[in-house]
């Protein structure tokens, strides 16, 4: 058995890459034809799809194992830290005129628009550097179940260049095709992008005004109506009532179940809201309104919509969460994560660049350090390991 498997693998290694390369080139040639049939000029199709082998980086990222379920407090500590709030307030001052004009036109609160910008690309600083035509051709020609989706996104991306919205070399973004200041995928760009600065182009890469207005347009079309999105709430410690994004009730009804605002004031009125308890009744609670569902439409994860909602509240001047998360090992901000990575590096661990991102190398280093210190090896970047290594959280 063993030798026959080895033989099979040897044959695959010998024949595989050459066949794969040829298949890839045939697949890309087909994509060029399809693009031209869809109205893309032959010269643009060949410039965009001048690629002879798959983009290795995109393959690696698309095949990476998800790191499993991250505790909500880790995710929120990372995404909504004091630095993101301070940077967001500075960017809101810088783009005050544009944000207010966008808010007037679409009725979407400017703090929420700024929060999406902050979470998606750190206010435009991290929009991704994968060349979309190559990334999307790689994903299409890899032939997985989602190939038709990726092909559709590729054709949509090229049509944006063809119609003059954006130059080809600006099609740079995430490995999965999201790009621009607020990370639209090409098909969403085609449907929802707006020229807000009036230059005749819908440029979500080069124009902050276009990108933020397009985001507001998206939220408006997803059902946003003037009003609140989320308020922190608290429930009695023995609460066993309903919760969940789809279980909506009036504020009066929630009040009858003992739910209060986190500052202790009473809820009242007929406005509909749902109660989220992402860490159970002992952690922070959130009453979320209709507009929360519009944010959820942007990226279908409740933790994402909570991060946007919470950052928007902070940008609007509200305090940090009043109820602590039910953990004795809270998550770390980006600055604290970098501090942790530097401490690990000082001790000889290979963590790559100390960039605050907790990838496989950092997780491995944390687990080894924990073991050495006689702690349970978790690989998680929390306050305990930071303190144990002499850091100052
Ligand atoms: Ca424009």
Output the CA 187–ligand 1 centroid distance in Å.
Answer: 18
Task: Give me the torsion for CA of 252, 254, 259, 265, rounded to 10°.
Answer: -20
Output the CA 200–ligand 1 centroid distance in Å.
Answer: 6
Output the CA 312–ligand 1 centroid distance in Å.
Answer: 25
Output the CA 221–ligand 1 centroid distance in Å.
Answer: 20
CB 72 within 8 A of CB 90: no
Output the CA 237–ligand 1 centroid distance in Å.
Answer: 51
Which class for 149: exposed (0-12), middle (13-18), buried (19 or more C-beta within 10 A)?
middle
**pLDDT at position 3 over 80:** no
Output the CA 210–ligand 1 centroid distance in Å.
Answer: 5
Model confidence over 171-220: pLDDT tens digits?
999 999 999 999 999 999 999 999 999 999 999 999 999 999 999 999 99
Output the CA 206–ligand 1 centroid distance in Å.
Answer: 8
Output the CA 84–ligand 1 centroid distance in Å.
Answer: 27
Model confidence over 137-176: pLDDT tens digits?
999 999 889 999 999 999 999 999 999 999 999 999 999 9
Output the CA 311–ligand 1 centroid distance in Å.
Answer: 27
Question: Mean pLDDT, to the nearest integer, of 287-305?
Answer: 96
Output the CA 383–ligand 1 centroid distance in Å.
Answer: 44
Percent of the chain having pLDDT more than 70? 94
**Threshold 0.75, pTM exceeds:** yes
Question: Mean pLDDT, to the nearest integer, of 16-44?
Answer: 90
pLDDT for 2 equals 39
Q: How are beta strands 130-131 and 260-261 bridged, if at all? A: unpaired
**pLDDT at position 9 over 90:** no
pLDDT for 11 equals 45
Task: Give me the torsion for CA of 22, 24, 30, 34, rounded to 10°.
Answer: -170
Mean pLDDT of the chain: 93
Which class for 155: exposed (0-12), middle (13-18), buried (19 or more C-beta within 10 A)?
buried
Output the CA 209–ligand 1 centroid distance in Å.
Answer: 8
Q: How far is CA 334 from CA 74, 76, 360, 365, in A?
A: 11, 11, 17, 17
Model confidence over 47-75: pLDDT tens digits?
999 999 999 999 998 887 666 678 999 99
Output the CA 361–ligand 1 centroid distance in Å.
Answer: 41
Sign of the Cα torsion 102, 104, 108, 111 reads positive
Output the CA 204–ligand 1 centroid distance in Å.
Answer: 8
Model confidence over 234-277: pLDDT tens digits?
999 899 999 999 999 999 999 999 999 999 999 999 999 999 99
**pLDDT at position 5 over 60:** no
Listed range (7-16, 44-53, 282-291, 321-330) with the worst mean pLDDT: 7-16
Domains of the chain: 1-53+135-166 (no CATH), 230-303 (1.10.530.10), 334-388 (no CATH)
Q: Which of 392, 227, 203, 244 is nearest to 309 (CA)?
A: 227
Output the CA 137–ligand 1 centroid distance in Å.
Answer: 27
> Which residue did the predictor score with more confidence, 15 or 295?
295
CB 146 within 8 A of CB 178: no
What residues have CB less than 8 Å from 279, skipping those under 6 apart?
A: 71, 72, 73, 325, 326
Output the CA 217–ligand 1 centroid distance in Å.
Answer: 14
């Amino acid at each position: 058995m063993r030798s026959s498997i080895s033989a099979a693998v040897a044959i695959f290694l010998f024949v595989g890459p050459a066949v794969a390369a040829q298949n890839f080139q045939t697949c890309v040639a087909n994509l060029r034809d399809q693009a031209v049939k869809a109205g893309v000029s032959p010269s643009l199709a060949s410039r965009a799809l001048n690629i002879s082998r798959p983009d290795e980086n995109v393959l690696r990222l698309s095949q990476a194992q998800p790191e499993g379920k991250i505790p909500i407090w880790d995710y929120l500590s990372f995404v909504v830290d004091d630095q993101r709030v301070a940077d967001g307030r500075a960017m809101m001052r810088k783009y005050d005129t544009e944000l207010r004009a966008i808010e007037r036109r679409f009725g979407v609160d400017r703090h929420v628009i700024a929060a999406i910008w902050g979470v998606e690309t750190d206010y435009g600083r991290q929009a991704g550097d994968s060349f979309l035509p190559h990334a999307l051709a790689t994903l299409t020609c890899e032939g997985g179940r989602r190939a038709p989706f990726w092909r559709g996104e590729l054709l949509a991306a090229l049509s944006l260049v063809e119609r003059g919205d954006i130059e080809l070399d600006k099609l740079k973004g995430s490995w999965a095709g999201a790009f621009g200041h607020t990370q639209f995928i090409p098909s969403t760009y085609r449907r929802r992008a707006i020229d807000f600065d009036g230059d005749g182009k819908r440029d979500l890469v080069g124009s902050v005004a276009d990108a933020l207005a397009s985001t507001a347009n998206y939220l408006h079309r997803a059902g946003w109506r003037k009003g609140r999105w989320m308020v922190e709430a608290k429930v009695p410690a023995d609460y066993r009532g309903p919760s969940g994004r789809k279980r909506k009730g009036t504020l009066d009804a929630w009040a009858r179940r003992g739910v209060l605002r986190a500052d202790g004031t009473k809820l009242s009125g007929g406005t509909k809201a749902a109660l989220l308890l992402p860490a159970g009744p002992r952690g922070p609670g959130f009453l979320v309104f209709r507009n929360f569902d519009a944010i959820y439409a942007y990226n279908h994860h409740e933790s994402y919509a909570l991060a946007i909602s919470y950052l928007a509240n902070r940008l609007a001047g509200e305090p940090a969460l009043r109820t602590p998360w039910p953990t004795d090992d809270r998550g770390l901000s980006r600055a604290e994560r970098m501090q942790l990575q530097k401490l690990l590096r000082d001790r000889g661990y290979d963590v790559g660049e100390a960039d605050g991102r907790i990838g496989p190398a950092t997780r491995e280093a944390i687990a080894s350090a924990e073991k050495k210190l006689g702690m349970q090896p978790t690989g998680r970047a929390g306050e305990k390991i930071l303190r144990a290594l002499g850091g100052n959280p």
